[in-house]
Structure 1
Amino acid sequence: MPRSQAAEIMDDPGQSEADFDAALADLARINRMTFATTPLLRFLDRVAPDHHREHPGEALSVLDVGAGGGDALRAMAEWGARRGVALDLWGLDRSPWAERHAMAQATPARWVTADLFDLPAERRFDVVVCGLFAHHLDDATLVRFLRWLPAHAARRWLILDLHRHAIPWAAVWAGTRLLRMHPMVCHDGPVSIARGFDRADWQRLIAEAGIDATPRWVLPFRWAVEGPGGA
């Protein structure tokens, strides 16, 4: 089954702030239930020690692209507090409502409200991460994004996104309705799965981008795609 090109309601700037806010809250619930940040925090467990060994006393700067409501940033902040790791957290999202929602949730991060491709070429971070955002991009834009990542990450970068498969599609379709989630989430959840990826997609896209990256399948029905920064 090829990647779906169906539109997600959340990508429509004509949606109201109240609907967007409610959808972000429900998406955070889904992320908690599916342990969405577990691979992200394991990634930081690997990356942070090398950074602090090479740059003692210097905070690890992390940019979250497509940060949405900031739940991944809050999880990273909690991880840093538990580990005693200093972090300089940044969120990037083109929706101004995303920043307002994240700040209302006391997200301990600085924010950039912009299209990711408008970020100045010289603006770099130690680590760039991207959770459940890549499937919003068509193939051509995703190839451009894959080239963008090592240009803006000095050390490592990580994409976490959905595996396109009938099992998660059915689970999300049923679960969002049983839990009476916002209509935007009920619509966009299954569409997101259909816009997701399989291994062949990632191998093709990485080859087209001409970058060094490795896709790994992670639970539950997710892909982790990681590569080195352009140090």
Structure 2
Amino acid sequence: MSTLSERDPGLVELMDDPACDRDALFRTYAAFSHVNALLAGWRRTYRERLRPNFTGPEHSVVDIGAGGGDVARALIGWARRDGVRLEITAIDPDERAAAYVSTLAPLDGYTHRLGTSSDLADEGRLFDFVLSNHVLHHLGPTELGTVLADSEQLARLGVVHSDIRRSATAYALYSVFTAGRFRGTFIREDGLLSIRRSHRVAELAAAVPVGWRVVPQAPHRLLLMHDPRAGR
């Protein structure tokens, strides 16, 4: 535990408990917009990994395991300022996420859907980009394989799965950052559990198929990427 030298994928986060406090869960979804904005690196990912691959004034996106949809909403705003319209389908299998999103003001370009990536793949859907945030560390080997296969099938232009990169430093800094903050939510407890469940670059690289690339992102992130155009 002191060095976090090994993953602990058997840990269960509080918000994944179907019996967890609903109000605390909704407060957690609301807090994600602040935590992810500060720590998840999506502004940089948008600038460096998505925007350079835009090919026109409008693009379709699916955000897998979108939770309360804060990342998707941020992406829509950034792209709009760049003169690009994103149509984002935020998909999540948890009915509680859908219930939370129903309390938010509608946003042009944002659609929330109950379901999984496999539901979309089975329907033959296609999107320009496939994304996820903090999903990978939740997946066992079989689930990871399914999500990556679905991603390859769904994406026209690119796939970016963003997650935490496990380290003792990340754990210590997050512990300090959340101390005394986000009371009444699962942000602190689940965030620390997430770090312990997350991958290092070499671990994830060894677990994914040929054609996928794992890239570290400062300070404590990693990106799992696939370019569907590479084999064409």
Higher helix share: 1
Counterparts of 1:39 and 1:146, CA distance in 2: 23
The DSSP-based 3-state class of the residue aligned with 1:119 is helix
List 4+ stretches of structure 1 deviating above 4 A: none
Q: Which residue of 1 aligns with 2:140?
A: 138
Q: Which residue of 1 aligns with 2:50?
A: 44
Gaps of 5+ in 1: none
Q: Is the 1:26–1:182 Cα contact (8 Å) retained in structure 2?
A: no
> Of 3, 12, 18, which aligns to 1:13?
18
User: Structure 2 matches for 1:143-154, cutoff 5 A?
Assistant: 143-154=145-156
What RMSD in Å do the two structures reach over aligned CA positions?
Answer: 1.9
Could you give the per-residue CA deviations for residues 36-85 of structure 1, whole angstroms, max 9, x where no partner exists? 3123312221111xx21xxxx6x200011111111111111111211111
Q: Cα offset for 1:145?
A: 1.6
> Of 175, 178, 181, which aligns to 2:180?
178
Q: Cα offset for 1:103?
A: 4.2
Counterparts of 2:132 and 2:106, CA distance in 1: 17
Q: Which residue of 2 aligns with 1:222?
A: 221
Q: Is the 2:170–2:195 Cα contact (8 Å) retained in structure 1?
A: yes
After superposition, the Cα gap between the structure-2 partners of 1:202 and 1:107, relative to the gap in structure 1 and judged at 3 Å, is farther
Q: Taking structure 1 as the reference length, what is the TM-score of the superposition?
A: 0.87
Answering whether residue 117 of structure 2 is matched by residue 116 of structure 1, we say: yes
After superposition, the Cα gap between the structure-2 partners of 1:183 and 1:19, relative to the gap in structure 1 and judged at 3 Å, is closer
* Matched pairs, number: 221
Q: Which residue of 2 aligns with 1:29?
A: 34
Q: What percentage of residue pairs aligned between the two structures are identical?
A: 24
User: Structure 2 matches for 1:91-102, cutoff 5 A?
Assistant: 91-102=90-101
Could you give the per-residue CA deviations for residues 122-156 of structure 1, whole angstroms, max 9, x where no partner exists? 11211100111111112332122222211111221
Q: Is the 1:73–1:107 Cα contact (8 Å) retained in structure 2?
A: no
Q: Is the 1:62–1:127 Cα contact (8 Å) retained in structure 2?
A: yes
- Of the structure 1 ranges 9-18 and 193-202, higher mean CA displacement relative to structure 2 is found in 9-18
Q: Is the 2:27–2:185 Cα contact (8 Å) retained in structure 1?
A: no
Q: Cα offset for 1:35?
A: 5.2
After superposition, the Cα gap between the structure-2 partners of 1:20 and 1:183, relative to the gap in structure 1 and judged at 3 Å, is closer
The DSSP-based 3-state class of the residue aligned with 1:178 is coil
The amino acid that maps onto 1:3 is R
Q: Taking structure 2 as the reference length, what is the TM-score of the superposition?
A: 0.87
